[in-house]
């Protein structure tokens, strides 16, 4: 049997270990990427009687791709924002 233990730190309110044998590695990665799991202390993969710390691997997989600043068209974004604001103006 293989499952993951995700330890979440809530600061003064304490910690919580999320353990669900039906959650796959892919689901853990997607939950970290979506922000559902935040303030992670560690993630352990338990397989049989072996425990492996996979925190760094999963956080690396869940990292969002960086967009280079020169790829962003600020002028187009400003025009889009102005157009969206005009949509909601009262006439």
Closest among 42, 45, 53 to 15, alpha carbons compared: 42
Q: What's the Rg (C-alpha) of the chain?
A: 20
Under the banding of pLDDT at 50, 70 and 90, the label for residue 25 is very high
What is the C-alpha separation between 8 and 17, in angstroms, rounded? 6
pLDDT tens for residues 29-62? 999 999 899 889 999 999 999 999 999 999 999 9
Task: Give the largest Cα separation in the chain, rounded.
Answer: 68
> pTM surpassing 0.75?
no
């Amino acid at each position: 049997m293989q499952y993951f233990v995700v330890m979440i730190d809530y600061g003064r309110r304490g910690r919580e270990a999320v353990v669900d044998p039906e959650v796959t590695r892919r689901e853990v990665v997607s939950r970290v990427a979506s922000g559902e799991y935040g303030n992670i202390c560690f993630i352990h993969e338990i397989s049989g009687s072996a425990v492996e710390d996979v925190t760094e691997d999963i956080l690396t997989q869940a990292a969002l791709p960086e967009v280079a600043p020169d790829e962003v068209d600020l002028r187009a974004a400003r025009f889009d924002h102005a157009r969206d604001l005009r949509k909601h103006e009262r006439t």
